[in-house]
Each structure stands twice: as C-alpha cells, then as structure tokens.
Amino acid sequence: MGLLEGKVIAVTGAGAGIGREEALLAAKNGAKVVINDLGGARDGSGKDSKVADVVVEEIKKMGGDALGHYEDISEEAGGESLVGKAVEKWGRFDGLVNNAGILRDKMCFSMDNSEWDLVIKVHLRGHFMCARAAAKYFRAHKEQGGAIVNTTSTSGLLGNAGQTNYAAAKLGIVGMTSALHLELGKYCRVNSIAPMAYTRMTSDLAIAEMLKNYKPEHIAPLVIFLLSEKAKGISGQCFGVFGPYVQLYRLPRPVCDWKADGMGWDPAKLAEKAGEIAKAAAAANWAYMPGTPIPEDKKIKF
C-alpha cells in the first residue's frame, strides 16, 4: 500500500524531467495518474502527444493506470478537461500537481512583449486554470478532501538575471498559493515547492554544473507526501527541495522597523536613517539562501 493508494492525481508537464518523476512515483504509490504534456520544446513551441503517451505506457508497464492529456493548461478548457477526464475515467479526483512551465530567457531590455506574455501565461495563468478547476471539484466534494501542489522557483524567491518574466510568474505562484490556502481551507490543502534539479530547463544556467548532483527524482518524494493524507494540517506553505534536502521557507516578513516621532515620516527624516536602513537591508540578505543548507544554529529547534 502506497501513500496514494486509490487516489487520482493529475500532473501537468509530466512528459519529462520533474513532472515525469512526480507522475511515476505517484503511480508507484498507488495513484491513477493523468499525464498532461503538450510535448513542446523548452520555449513552449511545438506539440507532440507522444511525449505524454510514453509516460502513460511506462506506468502501465509497472502495473499502474494512467491516461494522457494533451491540452493547453493555460486555457480554461485545458484546466477543466484535466480534472474532467480524470473524473470521467475513474470517478474521482484527489490531487493536482501544477508543474508545467517554459522558458523565454532574455534581459529585460531585450525581452519583447510575447516573451513576457507567454511565460506569464503558461506558468501563472496555467497554475490558476488548473487550480480553479480542481477547487470546483474539491468544493463540490468537500467530504473527500484533496491537495494541490504548485511549483515556484528560487528564481522567483531571489530573482535571477535574464528571467524577469519567469521570476515574476514564479513569485506570483507563491502569492497565489497563499491566497488559495485561505480560500480553500475547508476543501483542500494547497502548498508550493521550489525545486532545484538538473533538467532541460536548467541545463544551460550558470549553476548547471552544481545542479548535476540534484536530480528530478529527488523532488518527487516531497510532492507525494504533500498529496497524501499524512500531510493533513500542512497547507499554505512553501518548501524548498534539492538533493537530500527538504526546507521550509518563511516568506517575506518584517525583520526591522523604524518609528517616526509623530504619525508619519518625511523624506528628509528617512534620509537621516539611510545608513542604518542600508545596514539592516544588507543584514537581511541571508548568508544561507534558499537552495543552500541552513546552519545548525539557525534552524528551528523541536
């Protein structure tokens, strides 16, 4: 008996890389899996249903059950059919893994409108379209419960030169996760992960050599856990995962403040604090960034 025995799970962008490993491990843990993938290139161009079909056959050869889904999840029809086909075939829906994404990397001054729009559409709108479809099902079957796992990135949490579009979409997914958690708390759990792994999406990044030790299969166990009943009570959180590490991220919170003498500040008074503010800002840039191990003395103790 696996952690997802009897559950029906959909994974977007499941034809390769992290999504494929998430889908395969879900199946190994007893889930029936919808394999969504347009089968396009890394930049989103092209289409090939065989990409999803290969993973479907892998799961069936393992003795599991899966079906392919080839629609664009950034469109309403794609999100609705992702859930609808699962319910039509297996009579229920239990979990969504929003993983699909593309890259159109360029420095902001060289990025054209289409390169911005498409990345935002696939990542941010795509997450929303699928999450909304899942939310409708979970709300109608609130006695059943369910789980949504979204995929953000350290590029969104920290920024990354050449990825203004991608970083904006990925940080937007963090905000979306927090809002969905508040809206859907009665019906399902919603969390996000920030994975680091060597895939076709990261193979030409500056940190690619370091990432070769971090594989897509290292990401999937956390996702399976978050989809399972064992993760009840865990919602609205953002987790980092890479290699042997799973980290819980605390998103921006106040770390320092200044109070004016009266009810408000004026620019000149703030300017007097410029050195102090700059020093505090520098100190707030953690030495242990997301995607690096946390020093023992900085960890929460249980």
**What residues are labeled active site?**
166
Paired strand residues for 112:
none
* C-alpha pair distances (Å), 127 with each of 59, 101, 156: 24, 9, 15
Q: Which residue has the tokens 């990397």?
A: 105
- Residues with Cβ within 8 Å of residue 127, at least 6 apart in sequence: 98, 150, 151, 173, 176
Paired strand residues for 11:
35, 97
Is 206 exposed, middle or buried (CB count within 10 Å of its CB: 0-12, 13-18, 19+)?
Answer: exposed
247 and 196 in contact (C-beta within 8 Å)? no
151: nearest Cα among 118, 190, 114: 190
Strand order in the sheet with 245-249: 66-69, 32-36, 8-11, 95-97, 147-151, 189-195, 238-242, 245-249
Q: How far apart are the first and last CA of the chain?
A: 30
DSSP letter at 94 equals -
Name the 3-class secondary structure at 9.
strand
168 and 120 in contact (C-beta within 8 Å)? yes
Rounded to the nearest angstrom, the gap between the alpha carbon of residue 253 and the centroid of all alpha carbons in its chain is: 21
